[in-house]
Amino acid sequence: MSSSKLSVKDDFPPVDYETWRSTVEATLHGAPFEKKLVSHTYEGIDIQPVYTRRDELEGKDPSGFPGSSPFLRGSKPLGSVLNGTDLRQEHAHPDIDVTNKAILADLEGGVTSILIKLDTAARQGNPPSEVGASVGHDGVMAYDVHDFDGVLKKVGLDIIDVALDAGAAYLPAAATLAGVWDNRGVIPAKARGAFNADPLAALAREGKLPLSAATAMKQLADLAKWTSQHYPHVTAVGVDTAPYHDAGATAAQDIAFSMATAVEYLRAMTDVGMSIDDAAKQFLFRISLGTHHFLAIAKVRAARQLWARVIEASGGKPAGMKIHTRTGNRVLTQRDPYVNLLRNTVAAFSGIVGGADAVTSVPFDQAAQLPNDFSRRIARNTVLILDEESHLNCVVDPAGGSWFIEKLSSQLAESAWGLFQQIEAEGGMFAALKSGWIASQIDAAYAPRAKDIATRREGITGVSEFPNLAEEQLDQRPVDVGALRKAAADRQNAKSAEMKDLSLETVLPAACLKAASEGASISQLARAIGFHKSTTEMTAIEPHLFAQPFEELRDASDVWCTTKGQRPCVFLANMGPVAHHTARATFAKNFFEAGGFEVIGNEGFNDADAVSAALKASGANIAVICSSDKLYPEMVPAVAPALKAAGARSIVLAGHPADNESAWREAGVDRFIFIKCDVLATLRELLTDEGVLS
């Protein structure tokens, strides 16, 4: 047995940053270090290839301790160590009975809290008898205390947090949920949940509030004051970044918009007599996360730091921030949906590591259909594995101390704070939304990302990269929304006919609670407190789902295939030995399948006559010449004209033409495809030529 000891320090002596960098630059042979090794976020933050002690933040322990100001490291001293991650699953199936069964299955399977999303009609304060697509759309068809009771049947409301997504109808919905607590005998001290009043998010998403902005703010403030006085374990106010995140906002913009929204709400709450400290306790921030896990972790940490700064600047005591994270819709795909398992895992991981108080794990089929039992089970088990098998909750702020994460969190916070100050200069979040300033900021930030998606610099696995045209479609189970609408309308007519002329002497939440407990519907309460007497309107913030442009091409190809019996076709004109054409043939196949083209491959051809005959036999209108830069100068002048003569409407060459572009175009090449070219534009043009797109 050897008595020698391994000493990493002796075998690998320390190297200072300057020595390391000079060595790296020598290997780059004159290429700029910043261009080759430094990446950039869409906020404009530089991401260095390596972080060292030289990147340590200035000051004595600038990150503080978990549970203390500036709360960068968490809102609670022990984080989730004692109780684990609060797994808050979302339910939006229109059928009350189906929703209830799904909730009970989730709770039995380890879920610790639930979020109920009401359908579009209820969120706008409209009855189920309304004619239109809003009834049963994008949420549960629950309209009164009886419906809520059905949704929450057999749920232990004294131990389970129930959160709401009720859009503009947050006050009627809150009163209805409180009515369920009241009718079931759940004392206020035992009730748990989140009303999530967030009129600005509803305005941004829908482009319209069914009441004036001033009335909406007053109702939010009244609800917050009433909640703080009666329900110690319930929050009244939500600040949801989803409308901005799904539109393409950067992480810094998300944080800034949430801070500006919260400040708008704080002003309304203090106007009704609430102290800053009491008002701060009424907030739950709902933050959407993407798949850049380092940025997502830093985003959650930076948000806490800025909220502490906002409260301190407002004259309040240092306060932690309650955060609920969810996988953002913008990163989910309809195509190859099982890849969403990985995307969701990354976002859930980031939320837990970042110190979120509650995490929603999104089913992999969320973007394609209403989730089923299987996808829900996988979603909840994802977080349970992260907690119980990966033990993420056993460490408080596991990212803390990382020079990279600490620096990124600080840079993100400063970027967001600067943007927040700009919003305040614009007159606050409501004014900035109404004027279109917020939308313009998001559009400007999304433009370079949209370009990166189009060129596949930012690839989307299973959609723009490595698509599978033969993928099996999900087993969709259509919902008879028409029957559900009729049943809901009949149910409402039978239960609340005597309350159609509901009139409240006061719009305070207590009056709404009393009426809701007695059976008043959300729409009746909404009318009684001023809905539809005036409106607030703006241009809605348009969502930009990352995969959508490519998925639209695939959808068009599917329709064409159903109508014509086959997909639009591309013929690979592979020239020369396999070693010369295989790389570009693989590239071209991946390229065109992203647009829904069927790609006809082959082992290669040695001359123009053979390849042109094969093209003619294939019936394809598009030919893609694939070979090496070494063979192109000799082959292209002969092959391109032959392919044209054989009936090719479009000839594409795989590879950058460099100085040969003019000559090869003259020979008959119409387009060139290569890394960093505009894939999306090329596919659209060719699908239009084929008649697939109009």
Over the stretch 335-382, which tens digit does the pLDDT of each residue have?
Answer: 999 999 999 999 999 999 999 999 999 999 999 999 999 999 999 999
Instruction: Identify the burial level of 21 via C-beta atoms within 10 angstroms of its C-beta, where 0-12 means exposed, 13-18 middle and 19 or more buried.
Output: middle
Would the pLDDT of 63 be above 90? no
Distances (CA, A) of 616 to 619, 637, 646, 664: 6, 19, 6, 21
pLDDT band at 540 (very low <50, low <70, confident <90, very high): very high
**Residues 89/361, Cβ–Cβ less than 8 Å:** yes
For tokens 């939304």, the residue is 433
Distance (Å) of CA 413 to CA 46, 288, 446: 14, 17, 20
- Strand order across the beta sheet in which 671-673 lies: 598-600, 569-574, 622-626, 650-654, 671-673
Where exactly are the structural domains of the chain? 86-434, 547-690
How far apart, in whole angstroms, are the C-alpha atoms of residue 610 and residue 635?
A: 13
Q: Quick check: 486 and 495 in contact, CB under 8 A?
A: no
User: Mean pLDDT lowest for which of 145-149, 295-299, 444-448, 494-498?
Assistant: 494-498
Per mean pLDDT, which range of 147-151, 253-257, 498-502, 589-593 is the poorest?
Answer: 498-502
Q: What element of type H or E holds 326?
A: strand 323-327
Tokens standing for 158?
A: 């004294």
Strands 39-40 and 46-47: antiparallel
| Amino acid of residue 93 | H
Q: Is the pLDDT of residue 1 over 60?
A: no
The mean predicted confidence, pLDDT, of the chain is: 93
The answer for 71, left when phi > 0, alpha when psi is -120 to 50, beta otherwise, is: left
Of the candidates 168, 285, 221, 213, which has an alpha carbon nearest to the alpha carbon of residue 527?
A: 168
- Domain at 547-690, CATH class: alpha beta
Cβ contacts of 490 within 8 Å, gap of 6 or more: none
Name the class of domain 86-434: alpha beta
Q: What is the pLDDT at residue 245?
A: 98
Of the ranges 53-67, 468-482, 495-509, 541-555, which one carries the lowest mean pLDDT score?
495-509
Q: Tell me, what's the pLDDT at 633?
A: 95
Q: Give the mean pLDDT of 590-597.
A: 97
Out of 11-15, 247-251, 477-481, least confident range: 11-15
As a whole number, mean pLDDT of residues 131-159 equals 93
Give, rounded to a whole angstrom, the gap between the first and last alpha carbons of the chain.
78
pLDDT range class, residue 133, cuts 50, 70, 90:
confident
Distances (CA, A) of 485 to 142, 153, 218, 497: 11, 21, 32, 17
Q: Is the pLDDT of residue 495 over 80?
A: no
Q: Quote the pTM value.
A: 0.94
Q: How far is CA 358 from the centre of its chain?
A: 16
* Identical topology for domains 86-434 and 547-690: no
Q: How far is CA 463 from the centre of its chain?
A: 17
Residues 28-37: pLDDT tens digits?
988 999 999 9
- What tens digit of pLDDT does each residue of 5-14 get? 767 767 777 8
β-pair partners for 360: 326
44 DSSP assignment: S
Token duo for residue 103: 């909730």
Least confident of 111-120, 231-240, 487-496: 487-496
Radius of gyration of the chain, Cα coordinates, nearest whole angstrom: 29
